Amino acid sequence: MTQPNPQEQLIWFRNAAPYINAHRGRCFVVHFSGETMQAETFAGLIHDFTLLQSLGIRLVLVHGARPQIEERIQDQGQQSQYHRGLRITDDQAITAVRQAVGCLRIEMEARLSMSIANTPMSGARLSCISGNFVTARPLGVIDGIDYCHTGEVRRINHEAIRHQLDAGNFVLLSPMGYSPTGEVFNLSAEDVARAAASSLNADKLIFLSDCSELKQGPEQMTPAEAEQLLNNDSDLSDELKRHLKSALAACQQGVDRVHLVDRNRDGALLEELYTRDGSGILITAQTYEQLRQASIEDVGGILDLLSPLEEAGVLVRRSREQLELEIAHFRILDRDGMIIGCVALYPFIDDHAGELACLVIHPEYRGHGYAERLLKNIETTARGLQLRQLFVLTTQTAHWFQERGFVPIDIEKLPVRKRELYNYQRRSMAFAKQL
């Protein structure tokens, strides 16, 4: 493997800074399966958990135990029984569950206690807390089948978990719960993660999943799209189906962002959280907002947005005809059919540069990071076009751009074609950002 050069590492680290700030103090619930714990990449994942913790994320980890329980049941000479994808936990099976989960918990605690010189854990002093945070009730009899000691989550003691997070500890939840009568129940780990995320009001619920089969698809899905995928794609693995189902339930219960991150790729969790393009799939209930390429039907909406600013002299006037001709350069933010923001990118391919223009957010939606989102989108597009520089001409928004990495440049430094059109009366200032 080729090592990235120090300069690239530095750039990567600097680019991660906004995400480090955005995630600090947030609560993330992360689910990983028993299979993940058996994989070679697991040691790296443990390091990543400790790194997230040291970057100020409040972490609740939920582990699965399916293959480990399975192994123990087989060792007892028994066969696992499932109905509707859920284990039927009879008296013998619950013994296997207790043993398997107990061992996994100890293993997790041991791994999180490591602080060995010359490893990413060096110097880490982290406390991992597990306990009776999950109250369960029996699933009972379904389709005439008694699930015995298989249960479902009744309540999560979120105050106690918060208390631990406040103290700077990890919380580790297992796929087990206890009833007020003192019984032990085997739960689905996905369900524990879903319930924990919703009762803690977590900022993110993350499933480390075998989702490489979705890689070619979109990076973001609405719950409706995720549901469609679940219902129409019968080739999905059982694991992915379980994760999608729990993701949907979590969205319905108010968790804003659910991520599916490839459990087979070393570092995928860090990539998802600390890089611009991420690496996984985000399912978000914020369905009504869409950043998309503008089409000819959007011309009216864009004109509504631009006209007041043209009248105020903030933007150069564009006729409807001109806008129609240039519509392919525009991106818009569509919120439930209303255009609340727009931006345009005019590439100057020969100069390896692009002009960002018409960045506008509807006055009622300002101050929520929408413009920033449009800028990032344009930067990604410009990079895709192999442009090396983005420039902008502005009269009143200089500081906004400067705060986002643009520096003043001389008008003479603009591409010749742009310079020829420069309106000296407007006295716009030019700013550029290297990509």
Ligand X SMILES: CC(C)(COP(=O)(O)OP(=O)(O)OC[C@H]1O[C@@H](n2cnc3c(N)ncnc32)[C@H](O)[C@@H]1OP(=O)(O)O)[C@@H](O)C(=O)NCCC(=O)NCCS
Question: Given the rule CB under 6 A, which residues bind ligand X?
Answer: 309, 314, 357, 359-361, 366-372, 392, 394, 396-397, 399-400
Question: What is the closest distance, in whole angstroms, from the C-beta atom of residue 314 to ligand X in the complex?
Answer: 5
* 86 contacts 139 by C-beta, under 8 angstroms: yes
Q: For ligand X, give the closer residue by CB, 54 or 396.
A: 396
Cβ burial 281-292 (10 Å sphere, 16+ → b, else e):
bbbbbeeebebe
Q: For ligand X, give the closer residue by CB, 346 or 400.
A: 400
Token pair listed for 227: 């549901």
Q: For ligand X, give the closer residue by CB, 123 or 369.
A: 369
Q: For ligand X, give the closer residue by CB, 169 or 397.
A: 397
Question: What is the closest distance, in whole angstroms, from the C-beta atom of residue 400 to ligand X in the complex?
Answer: 4
Q: For ligand X, give the closer residue by CB, 30 or 359.
A: 359
Question: What is the closest distance, in whole angstroms, from the C-beta atom of residue 344 to ligand X in the complex?
Answer: 9
Question: What is the closest distance, in whole angstroms, from the C-beta atom of residue 109 to ligand X in the complex?
Answer: 42
Contacts for 326 with CB less than 8 Å, ≥ 6 apart: 318, 344, 346
Question: What is the closest distance, in whole angstroms, from the C-beta atom of residue 434 to ligand X in the complex?
Answer: 19
Q: For ligand X, give the closer residue by CB, 17 or 103.
A: 17
Q: For ligand X, give the closer residue by CB, 30 or 392.
A: 392
Q: For ligand X, give the closer residue by CB, 240 or 360.
A: 360
Question: What is the closest distance, in whole angstroms, from the C-beta atom of residue 431 to ligand X in the complex?
Answer: 10
Q: For ligand X, give the closer residue by CB, 266 or 372.
A: 372
Question: What is the closest distance, in whole angstroms, from the C-beta atom of residue 322 to ligand X in the complex?
Answer: 16
* 153 contacts 129 by C-beta, under 8 angstroms: no
Question: What is the closest distance, in whole angstroms, from the C-beta atom of residue 9 to ligand X in the complex?
Answer: 28
Q: For ligand X, give the closer residue by CB, 163 or 317.
A: 317
Q: For ligand X, give the closer residue by CB, 314 or 435.
A: 314
Alpha carbons 80 and 210: distance in angstroms, whole number: 22
* 115 contacts 182 by C-beta, under 8 angstroms: no
Question: What is the closest distance, in whole angstroms, from the C-beta atom of residue 360 to ligand X in the complex?
Answer: 4
Question: What is the closest distance, in whole angstroms, from the C-beta atom of residue 387 to ligand X in the complex?
Answer: 17
Alpha carbons 188 and 45: distance in angstroms, whole number: 22
Question: What is the closest distance, in whole angstroms, from the C-beta atom of residue 291 to ligand X in the complex?
Answer: 13
Alpha carbons 106 and 114: distance in angstroms, whole number: 13
